[in-house]
Amino acid sequence: MTKTDAGSKAGLSVGPVVGSSHLADGRKPSLSEVELALSMCGNGFHRWMTRCMNAAGGGELGPLDVLVLHSINHRERPKKLADLCLILNIEDTHTVNYAIKKLQALGLVESTRQGKEKVVAITNEGQALCQRYKEVREALLFEAVDAVGLGEEDLSRVAALLRSLSGQYDQAARAAASL
């Protein structure tokens, strides 16, 4: 049921679902709808990651810690701090560095040197935790996502759209920084 259908059934005229009506009052109210949906989705995703990791036995890791752990585990190759920040689109390297130190203290990652560069690699314990996270994710999330009716191609299109929007917001941020 769409928001218009829901509003019609209740006898209401419901406009765009936005978090800031003053931002929707203009040329692109739909962009305000997208921004609220991104915020809701981002917050839900962060909550999911921390709870899924906790269920997998990872304790009280925050969303950034979980993202960094999975990124370090990706393709089982050591990663540089700069590469992790680039992949995750994080400007504040100190937040990623803090997450690495936290993961290192838990024995989930280890750092070494490749020439002058510090690199971080997953440990066996970190790999095992990522595997348990994957199992919990598959057990709890896949059926719920399937129930929405989105197939593989649909999800890939959504991901491509979100990556594209990310670029638009990054470009706008650069322009705003120059004002």
pLDDT > 90 in the chain, percent: 81
Judged against a pLDDT cut of 70, whether residue 129 lies above it is answered with yes
Judged against a pLDDT cut of 70, whether residue 62 lies above it is answered with yes
Binning pLDDT at 50, 70 and 90, where does residue 26 land? confident
pLDDT score, position 38: 95
- Residue 162 tokens read as 């979100």
